[in-house]
Structure 1
Amino acid sequence: MKIAKLTAALLAVAVMPVMANGTSAATATPESTASMLLNPATAAEPAKDPKAAVNTMIMLMDPATMAAMMTQGMNPATYTQMGQAALNPATAQNYAVFMDPNLYTKWMSASMDPNFYTAMMTPFMNPNMYMKWMMAPMDPRMWNAGMQMLNPGLYMNWMTAPLNPANMNLMMAPLNPNLYTGWANMAVDPKTYGTWGSFMNPATYGNMANPFAAFVPAAPAAAPAPAAK
């Protein structure tokens, strides 16, 4: 029985990085994962790629990620960043990718791949994950997040937030005409809609999209080449 448990643990440790492709999972940290999920501009990134979704799920199983999200959630600068991202047309363009059929084709392919389900289940076979949660009450990062409520600097940051230049610029942003110009350009940009954007591009239809094409005189035919002597 002990050998079977040890084999399962070793299998989980060996397989999990392979199934997660070792890209984002190897480089991501609890702080970077929390920043990604708390930023509207990047919060949807895991939903765009099954591999990224697995990597994010693995990071969310780490109690340190929860501590990082708690700490950043008490920082007024986090909400300033949320507001800036919400007004940025690039954020809407980032979410418009969900209208691209290629995204759903990618997920359909993942749903038929046994490796995808293996990658989702292997973290639960890793004893290290359960050990992290058992040791979480003694983790300094959890203590730091819990003790933030006793930090006078936290309340000072919130009291001075309305006077922060970044927040003042955010409040004045709706009065900037360039904001609406950027949104209009985003709405008519074919790149915003991925594959469907080709239907908005006049170049897709050629002369059919030009009502004056019939009145444009045709170019003269080229003179025939002289016969070889």
Structure 2
Amino acid sequence: MTDTIDRVAIVTGGSGGIGRASALRLAADGMAVVVHYNGNRERADEAVRAITDAGGRAVAAGGDISDEAAATALFDVAEREFGGVDVLVHTAGIMPLSPLAQLDLDVFDRIQRVNVRGTFIVDKLAVQRVRTGGAIINFSTSIIRLRPPAYAAYAASKAAVEVISLILARELRGKDITVNTIAPGPTATPLFLHGKSEELIAQIANNNPYQRLGEPEDIVEAVAFLAGPARWVNGQTIFVNGGAA
């Protein structure tokens, strides 16, 4: 079992939703945390205050993870402030929705840039800079199994994330760094709730055996497991969706 004390985590998208919950949980488990944001510094600072007020260690760092220089600076912050990086939790992503035939290709390109290129960049940096015994945790989606209309571009980007993760796990043979993907189901985050009617949300919530949406705290149980004791879990996509798919 890996001791989480003195480990350092970078959480991309840490200013809200699953990212914020991940940062709080890993800090509660004893890790120092770099809370990444892109455009919402106030929310990131709030997460940092919540961690430090509870006796933990955290700093906020901003930047576009699809830009290699900005992503590199994020890892620089972790090394400068806490001495290194042990865990990458990559939750940052975007989810514009549209039927395929109506999707603006500029929007499609932006989805792929943030979700696919962003993952590729932060994973590449993690390979170079995460210490032995570390963990890379990417995020996919249960939408890949559920396949509802309007999600084609988003699902395509997250399918790419899964493949990147599975191949990277094999490329890291002999490095003692795990690479896994978490695929949440519908979760009550601003990203999911945006633009949906209460009726639609209730309908989606009823689709799993628990008859509710997931909460970020449900998802971070898997994050904490993969970031800490789960050394024999590697090259996997773990669906965390209450049985929805």
Taking structure 1 as the reference length, what is the TM-score of the superposition? 0.20
Q: Which has the higher helix share?
A: 1
